[in-house]
Amino acid sequence: MTTDHNHRRLSAETAAVIITVTCDWDGLDYPVAGPHNPGADRHFRFNRGLQALQHFNRHFGGRIPLTHFICPVYFTRGRRLTEYYAPRIAELIAHSHCEVGLHLHGWMSLVQACGLTPADPVQDTALPDWGAQGENRLGLSVPYVDEAGALRLDYGHGVPLGVYSQDEIVQLAQAGRGLLLANQILPNAEACLSFRCGGWLANDAVLAALQNTQPAFQYEASAVDAALFPAGSGTLADWLRQLWGSRRPSAQSFLSNQLFLAAYPRGLAIHTHGNEVTEAQPRLIQNLLEIPDTALLADYVGAGFMVDQVARAVAAAAQQNIGVHVSLGFHLESGGDPRFGKVFGHLERVIEALDEIERRYAGAIRYLTIAEAGRRWRAFGELDKAGTPASGLG
């Protein structure tokens, strides 16, 4: 099939701009006190997140599919919590038009449940954690009660996955997917082929490991434009600039990005307009299709930025007669946390953005999950293993 034939088929069958909307489930269900939680609900952030998702589905009539990147830590803090979270997550997934992908943060309980010794920022003061401030080596943490009734503290959310070896990451990814299966969040392993790294910190070891799981992951959604994080805004921002910018691979192995730079030699620079939006399109990293998080997550950008990204994509698609991908999203717990919004949390920014996008561009956009977008890109795009960008979506 020729490229011209592909383009004619694109024009006839589909919209030119594909939008993927993602929800990251980090396991940050920590206690919230005060006027926002008058009933002292111990799972306030989790439950509000579920309510926000239900509101999103009602608002858009269930026609916008979500890609849920779920961290299996919900099932590694003891039987009581597993029994609380699992049926609620499974019910929401079962009644939604969505995809479930794997999301891995370096939580102590999760790493241990996957059969590895956790990389502990408290025990090893040289170990980085983007959440660490001053003497607080824990970063973000979640208290819970273990099987023996003892109060425990789960931490490691900000430990980059790349501090583990490639073989260890394979084990974490396979065991993590197994936890989703065991708790009936997935029907089978083949239903979970998309991945997003905690904090977007997918280094070479992560990108290689994902291709060596059984079954192998097909789609990866961690690459971001680090220019969205201003210089001096913290450890995470600095790491992201090294991972996804145009710098050479870092001497720190957990920031090595040789595989990424082979596919994207200029890095990603959407926010500063250093690249056109079409420079940040899906490309192969060996056998893994990288689908960049081009419009980031609502915790970090406002509705206006998301709308602007789609506007640029619509213009590029019209001018060049190609399919263009835009990704945007939010986190579960902060998406519903009313401290970050009027009624719900950051999800309100996503709804505001999508309402405006639909008002302006209803005939020029189409919503797909990450895997659906990736499959179509592989089918209709011109991809090669050297990292040539895809030419369109079917």
Q: pLDDT tens digit string along 205-220? A: 999 999 999 999 999 9
The bridge status of strand 365-367 relative to strand 17-25 is parallel
Better pLDDT: 80 or 229: 80
The CA-CA-CA angle for residues 90, 193, 165, to 5°, reads 110
Q: Where residue 389 falls among pLDDT bands split at 50, 70, 90?
A: very low
Q: What is the mean pLDDT of the chain?
A: 89
pLDDT digits (tens, 9 = 90+) for 16-70: 899 999 999 999 999 999 899 989 999 999 999 999 999 999 999 999 999 999 9
Q: 250: pLDDT confidence band, cut at 50, 70 and 90?
A: confident
The alpha carbon of 279 is separated from its chain's Cα centroid by a whole number of angstroms, namely 20
What is the mean predicted confidence (pLDDT) over 351-368? 96
Provide the pLDDT confidence category of residue 248 given band limits of 50, 70 and 90: confident
* Predicted model pTM: 0.93
Half-sphere exposure of 191 (CA within 13 A, CB side): 14
What average pLDDT does the segment 86-112 reach?
97
pLDDT exceeds cutoff 90 at 171: yes
393 against 371, higher pLDDT: 371
- DSSP assigned state of 386: T
Rg, Å, the chain Cα set: 20
pLDDT digits (tens, 9 = 90+) for 308-350: 999 999 988 888 777 899 999 999 999 999 999 999 999 999 9
pLDDT in tens, 160-170: 999 999 999 99
pLDDT at 118 over 90: yes
Cα atoms found within 13 Å of the Cα of residue 336, Cβ hemisphere only? 23
For residue 390, the model assigns a pLDDT of 44
The amino acid at 296: L
Q: Which residue has the tokens 């790349």?
A: 162
Angle at 149 between CA 146 and CA 151, to 5 degrees: 65
Contacts of 264 (CB under 8 A, 6+ apart): 223, 279, 280, 283, 290, 387
Is the predicted pLDDT of residue 87 greater than 90, yes or no? yes
Share of the chain above pLDDT 70, in %: 91
pLDDT exceeds cutoff 60 at 147:
yes
Long-range contacts of 377-383 (CB under 8 A, 24+ apart): 377/282, 377/289, 377/291, 377/323, 377/325, 378/289, 380/6, 380/9, 380/10, 380/323, 381/6, 381/282, 381/323, 382/3, 382/6, 383/283, 383/284, 383/289
CA-based max dimension of the chain: 65
Confidence bin at 72 (pLDDT 50/70/90): very high
Positions of E strands within the chain: 17-25, 66-70, 98-104, 142-145, 151-154, 194-197, 219-220, 283-285, 288-290, 324-331, 365-367
What local confidence, expressed as pLDDT, does residue 1 receive? 36
Q: What does DSSP assign to residue 310? A: H
4 pLDDT exceeds 50? no
Answer whether the bond into residue 31 is a cis peptide, omega within 30°: no
Answer whether residue 8 shows pLDDT above 70: no
pLDDT at 89 over 50: yes
CB atoms within 10 A of CB 145: 14
**Binning pLDDT at 50, 70 and 90, where does residue 275 land?**
low
Q: Measured between alpha carbons, how far is 313 from 324 in angstroms, rounded to an integer?
A: 6
The one-letter amino acid code at 300 reads Y
Q: Please state the rounded mean pLDDT for residues 78-87.
A: 96
DSSP H or E stretch at residue 304:
helix 303-320
Q: Is the pLDDT of residue 272 over 90?
A: no
pLDDT of residue 321: 76
H runs (alpha helix) in 95-197: 108-113, 166-182
State the pLDDT at residue 379. Answer: 86
388 pLDDT higher than 70: no
